[in-house]
Amino acid sequence: MLRVVEGIRIDARSLGGIATTIAFPEWSLCIDLGVTTQAALRCDTVAFTHAHADHVSGLNQYLGVRRLYGMRPPRLIASSAIAAPLQRLVDAMGELQGRPFESVVEGVEPGGDIEVGRGLYLRPFPVVHQAHSVGWSVVRRVVKLRPEHAGLAGGDIARRKSEGATDLFDEIDDPLIAVTGDTQAEGLDLSPWWVRRARVLMIETTFLDDERRDSNAAKVGRHMHLDDLPALLAGVESRAVVLYHVSQVYRPDEVEAAIRGRIPEAWQNRVHVVVPGDGERL
């Protein structure tokens, strides 16, 4: 499902427990790979929020088809704690294919950055789900002339740079999007500025109805219930919120109605939903 939200192209397919794949075609970046989509296949970098099957099961096909088409070996990025098991999975799939897959598996700790090109950086943040699960922020790093030098002519700037001046520019991080991955509400911290101020926040919202709330289904699986959102969104400054990972217990026609009835009025015009289609169910 391709859409443009606040100028960001997002190709997302997500059905809780079945498959979640979120591709950003313009950045050649994919977050999670529960199923190989056309958009995901063309992404050179895949970052994983965690290693549950519905978030990694598309990896074998992704690697195989990219090699079939002669595409470059991809970068696979994950929390440092699961980077080694992820590499073993890639190695095992290559062994079964009879030819190793060429890929680069990289681990990163929460609070660190990893460059993914085009001036973009991935920055993980802790969430509350499987051990070592993380969310991902995509941050654009730009270099801007310091305000006190705004009147300098281009030639003067070039001259001072050639003379070794180090006080001309500042590096500014602009958070574009934050993706929580699977998480429960309790203990989830959206306060880091690169999360709460992201232009778009994508937040897992698996359960929508009173029955699953009253049965604590969300807490049991460490997932989010729609009723958790008002408190979480209170400090969020994002221009838009995208809800995804809706459980397969809901029919497509039930999803929008349930969400519109429970979202705070202040967010009604800023909320988008990845609605699973009937064909995505197993």
Residue 19 belongs to domain spanning: 2-280
Separation between Cα atoms, residue 185 and residue 70, nearest integer Å: 42
Residues of the chain above pLDDT 90, percent: 64
Two structure tokens written together for 241: 């919120």
* pTM to 2 decimal places: 0.89
Mean predicted confidence (pLDDT) in 171-198: 94
Separation between Cα atoms, residue 112 and residue 139, nearest integer Å: 12
Mean predicted confidence (pLDDT) in 26-47: 97
130 — pLDDT class (breaks 50, 70, 90): confident
Separation between Cα atoms, residue 259 and residue 238, nearest integer Å: 18
Asked which of 149-163, 202-216, 261-275 is least confident by mean pLDDT, the reply is: 149-163
Domain count of the fold of the chain: 1
Q: Are 120 and 140 in contact (CB under 8 A)?
A: yes
Separation between Cα atoms, residue 107 and residue 279, nearest integer Å: 34
* 226-251: burial string, b at 16+ Cβ within 10 Å, e else: bbbbeebbeebebebbbbbbbbeebe
213: CATH: 3.60.15.10
Three-state DSSP at 30 gives strand
211 closest CA partner among 274, 258, 155, 267? 258
Asked which of 7-16, 66-75, 92-101, 211-220 is least confident by mean pLDDT, the reply is: 211-220
**Does residue 5 surpass a pLDDT of 70?**
yes
Three-state DSSP at 111 gives coil
DSSP 178-243: EE--S--STT----SHHHHT-SEEEEE--B-SHHHHHTTHHHHHT--BGGGHHHHHTT---SEEEE
In the chain, the N- to C-terminal Cα span, in Å, equals 18
